[in-house]
Amino acid sequence: MLRIALLTLLALPVLAQDRVGAIQLRVSTDHADWRYAPGQPVRFRIVALQDGHPVTGLRVTYRIGPEMMPPKIDQTVTLPDEGFTVEGGTLTEPGFLRCIATVERNGKTYRTVSTAAFTPEAIAPTQTNPTDFDAFWTAGKAALAKIPVDAKLTPLPDYGNSAVECSQVNLQNIGAGIAPSRLYGILCEPKAPGKYPALLSVPGAGVRPYRGLAAMAAYGIVTLQIGIHGLPVTLDPTVYESLAAGALNGYNTFGLDSRDRYYFRRVYLGCVRANDFLTSHPKWDGTNLAVTGGSQGGALSIVTAALDPRVKGLAAYYPALADVTGYLQNRAGGWPHMFRATEGPLAHRSSDKIATTAYYDVVNFARRVTVPGFYTWGFNDETCPPTSMYSAYNVIPGRKQLTLALETGHNNIPEQVAEVDAWLRNFLRAAN
């Protein structure tokens, strides 16, 4: 009986097994360095893998054109097992040509990007440089200087470590009107007595709490990480979520019709106010001050270095707010893309709003950065398009270093973070 049962079992058909796994859709350029001369054709290679092997029968849609612009090529084909190569065309001027590919599988859409560069070091800004730009910001700093710092500190013992103590800092800042506003941040300072360099950390876009840079402070640096919205930075996260969805939704275009009322006037001057506090700190060494941040914070790093001569160096990830007028010239502009829409509630293409951006565009601050800087971004960034970032980088007269993580979008990888942190530590140490 046992022998018969075993034979019966072995005779049963093997049932097919389903498997699941993410599709790895890849697009690559035919140049390993992603770079081309104007007029040189680009070929994009598109492949799809699952569990390390080609996927058969997928319908792939690919769209190719200058980054952030309507595609010149828009096709849907069945993807061969080995993938395929598509002729992407070229650009005749400095800029970036982008291929966006998508596939659908089991109700999920997979999307990937690859971006070819055409002599990006030759990209020139579209933004105008007002003749009274310096006078405008000199007047703003003079108005700020009349407002006492009025620093208030609240200890945060849970934020520090054995070598670092932390506090929430509450400073008086210039306001949108006559009355001052407040500026909040997290101060992290070495516990050991002594004199130390200082680092200001400026935030990316959004509304959130902060915890400070205790790890950096442990290297012997007084650090201050600030928020920009005039709110304490230690509240329950639900408070920030509610504000981001409500009162502060779209803050990046508040008051855009007036250079004196635009939201970022208080923000830019608030970065100077943060430095007022840092340079008055009893543990500051009296000389060395740097600023760092990413995205909106990358913009604020460049702005602060241009506005404040006390800043000796900066490190910026993928800076926003650069050459925002690019869309008015039919090319990519920087975040927050206020001129991308031509009509509807998101359209801001009025003469007064365009004029205001000239006083806040990172390009015009970049023209005035004379201190050493470390910059890093990738070619696939769709939030801060590389055209906009190169527009600012190319006009910086100060000593500059650019490290590219080509395949990254609006994100960083551990290698970038390690390089930025090492540069800052070495720069501040060398400055000593």
Catalytic residue among 229, 337, 348, 410: 410
- Per the structure, the count of domains in the chain is 2
Query: What letters, b where the CB count within 10 A reaches 16 and e where it falls short, cover 45-69?
Result: ebbbebeeeebeebebebbbbbbbb
410 catalytic? Reply is yes
Q: How confident is the model at residue 283 (pLDDT cuts 50, 70, 90)?
A: very high
Whether 247 and 354 map to the same domain: the answer is: yes
The domain that holds 299 is classified in CATH as 3.40.50.1820
The secondary element (H helix, E strand) that includes residue 216 is: helix 214-217
Could you tell me if 198 and 280 are in contact, meaning their C-beta atoms sit under 8 angstroms apart? no
The secondary element (H helix, E strand) that includes residue 273 is: helix 263-278
Whether 68 and 209 map to the same domain: the answer is: no
User: Within a domain: residue 317?
Assistant: yes
Whether 204 and 313 map to the same domain: the answer is: yes
User: Within a domain: residue 50?
Assistant: yes
Whether 227 and 86 map to the same domain: the answer is: no
pLDDT of residue 62: 98
257 catalytic? Reply is no
Whether 75 and 200 map to the same domain: the answer is: no
pLDDT in tens, 42-77: 999 999 998 888 888 899 999 999 999 999 999 999
Whether 66 and 147 map to the same domain: the answer is: no
Domain boundary among 90, 122, 154: 122
Domain boundary among 91, 122, 153: 122
pLDDT of residue 313: 98
Whether 188 and 104 map to the same domain: the answer is: no
Would you say the C-alpha torsion 257, 259, 261, 262 has a positive or negative sign? Answer: positive
Domain boundary among 102, 122, 142: 122
**What φ, ψ does residue 183 adopt, rounded to 5°?**
-130, 130
DSSP 194: S
The domain that holds 100 is classified in CATH as 2.60.40.1930
Amino acid at 163: A
81 catalytic? Reply is no
Catalytic residue among 295, 301, 388, 391: 295
Whether 156 and 251 map to the same domain: the answer is: yes
pLDDT of residue 7: 44
Whether 94 and 143 map to the same domain: the answer is: no
Whether 74 and 165 map to the same domain: the answer is: no
pLDDT in tens, 242-269: 999 999 999 999 999 999 999 999 999 9
Which residue stretches of 90-158 are H helix? 133-145
User: Within a domain: residue 128?
Assistant: no
Whether 253 and 365 map to the same domain: the answer is: yes
Which residues constitute the domain of residue 88? 24-122
Catalytic residue among 285, 308, 323, 381: 381
* Cα angle 18-19-25, degrees, rounded to a multiple of 5: 135
pLDDT in tens, 162-209: 999 999 999 999 998 778 999 999 999 999 999 999 999 999 999 999
Q: What pTM was computed for the model?
A: 0.94
